[in-house]
């Protein structure tokens, strides 16, 4: 089995000989045979990307794929495909609920694979005649998609620009306020202006689609997109950690551009969770020891058996509901393996570095953004994080960077990584696909 390139985001766990046998079998239905044939065609298509993969692996750090190419389409969403897949097939939902979940899953699959890329890579201006230029502070603008599901129509109708009063639309005003709070965290504690350190305008769109249960960063249009949610997942604009998570994907592109697959993709998700949790703790004035370390706790609606989308303190315990399954995150390298779904498990295996950061922050003491966050930030800006960075590579840099934060800081950071198995030799879960 081949490792997929980040442009295709597709790892085929079923070997071709098995697919071919199914496609030619008289013992299965025509529908099943056609599905197997389609899978074979898809596999052949993505196998041609192998050369592109190795070309990319030899490129120097910081190489940027030209806008408009397939690998430029790396949209990151807060709701993983595994959760939507459970909803789409849940016997505990009615047909309408399953259909909406399947629609959102299909959309997420498309955007993660770079399907339906933008016609233009230019950022939409905040208002007619206003130019994007280096400023002392980023300007915010919130647009309304008016429940349009077509990404080509983004950003939509401009409803609030920088300095304008509340509109009365809760989603619009929450997005505007919470984006400002995240930008303030970056400016005050990390000396970073907006998403690119040049005070770029920050654009977001609310009311995307009908009952769309997700939020994502669109790197081609350089904006955030928020759905209104539905019965179980909602309130994306009201979750400050969700805003912090999505904006950080953009910051990561300007600091340590990590390929969005496998370990490097999990680190990409992890960094977004780190800054999402820090801004949440900042707003709630919580020390690392006192915080709950839950990501997206305000997105899980009442009635669902769960507390959040993810737990950095106890990965795998955020939710457990018959309608959308049990939280699949893991918090130790003994559970790591190569998987096909979720871009190689970027939302699942990010639990490993998430747990390490939580342990380091508690051990270092105080507020998470004072020491642990600074160590992670300096690591991101060290110039030593390759696009295909592994957990061990990232951990080694954090340990060295920690030398600037006290004599005992390196040992505490190393102990945190050791607690999740990153400092050990890789031990894969038995019975799982481990080949590349």
Q: What is the largest CA-CA distance in the chain?
A: 69
Distance CA 270, CA 359 (A): 14
Q: Respond yes or no: is residue 246 known to be catalytic.
A: yes
Backbone angles phi and psi of 305, in degrees to 5: -85, 80
Distance CA 219, CA 154 (A): 13
Give the number of other Cβ atoms within 10 Å of residue 89's Cβ. Answer: 15
Candidates 64, 82, 77, 60; CA nearest to 6 is 64
First to last CA, the chain: 6
Distance CA 390, CA 336 (A): 12
- Checking DSSP bridges between strand 140-144 and strand 202-208, what pairing results, if any? parallel
Is residue 332 within 8 A of residue 246, CB to CB? The reply is no
Candidates 430, 238, 425, 252; CA nearest to 346 is 252
CA angle 13, 15, 17 (to 5 degrees): 165
Annotated catalytic residue, options 107, 270, 332, 347: 347
Annotated catalytic residue, options 246, 253, 269, 297: 246
Which residues are CB-neighbours of 216 under 8 A, at least 6 positions away? 75, 76, 77, 78, 108, 111, 224, 225, 246
Q: Respond yes or no: is residue 297 known to be catalytic.
A: no
Q: Which residues are catalytic?
A: 246, 347
């Amino acid at each position: 089995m081949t490792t997929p390139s980040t442009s295709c985001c597709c790892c085929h766990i079923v070997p071709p000989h098995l697919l071919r046998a199914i496609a030619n079998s008289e013992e299965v239905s025509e529908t099943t045979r056609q599905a197997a044939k389609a899978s074979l065609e898809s596999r052949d298509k993505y196998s041609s990307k192998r050369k592109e993969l190795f070309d990319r692996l030899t490129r120097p750090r910081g190489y940027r794929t030209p806008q408009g190419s397939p690998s430029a389409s790396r949209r990151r969403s807060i709701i993983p495909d595994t959760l939507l897949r459970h909803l789409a097939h849940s016997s505990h939902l009615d047909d309408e609920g399953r259909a909406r979940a399947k629609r959102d899953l299909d959309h997420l699959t498309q955007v993660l694979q770079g399907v339906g890329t933008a016609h233009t890579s230019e950022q939409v201006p905040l208002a007619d005649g206003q130019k994007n230029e280096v400023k002392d502070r980023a300007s915010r603008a919130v647009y309304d998609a008016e429940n349009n599901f077509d990404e080509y129509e983004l950003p939509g109708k401009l409803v609030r620009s920088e300095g304008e009063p509340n509109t009365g639309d809760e989603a619009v005003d929450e997005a505007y306020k919470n984006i400002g709070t995240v930008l303030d965290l970056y400016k005050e504690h990390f000396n970073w202006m907006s998403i690119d350190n040049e005070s770029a305008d920050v654009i977001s769109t609310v009311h995307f689609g009908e009952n769309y249960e997700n939020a994502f960063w669109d790197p081609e249009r350089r904006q955030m997109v928020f759905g209104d949610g539905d019965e179980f997942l909602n309130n994306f604009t009201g979750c400050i950690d969700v805003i912090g998570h999505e904006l950080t994907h953009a910051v990561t592109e300007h600091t340590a551009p990590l390929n969005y697959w496998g370990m490097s993709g999990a680190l990409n998700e992890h960094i977004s969770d780190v800054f999402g949790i820090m801004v949440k703790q900042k707003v709630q004035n919580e020390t690392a020891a006192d915080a709950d370390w839950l990501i997206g706790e305000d997105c899980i609606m009442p009635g669902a058996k769960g507390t959040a989308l993810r737990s950095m303190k106890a990965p795998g315990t955020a939710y457990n509901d018959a309608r959308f399954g049990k939280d699949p995150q893991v918090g130790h390298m003994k559970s790591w393996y190569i998987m096909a779904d979720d871009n190689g498990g970027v939302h699942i295996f990010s639990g490993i570095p998430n747990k390490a950061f939580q342990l380091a922050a508690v051990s270092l003491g105080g507020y998470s953004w004072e020491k642990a966050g600074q160590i992670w930030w300096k690591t991101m800006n060290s110039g030593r994080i390759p696009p295909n960075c592994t957990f061990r590579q990232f951990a080694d840099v954090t340990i060295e960077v920690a030398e600037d934060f006290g004599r005992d800081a390196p040992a505490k950071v190393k102990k945190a990584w050791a607690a999740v198995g990153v400092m050990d030799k890789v031990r894969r879960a038995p019975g799982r696909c481990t080949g590349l």
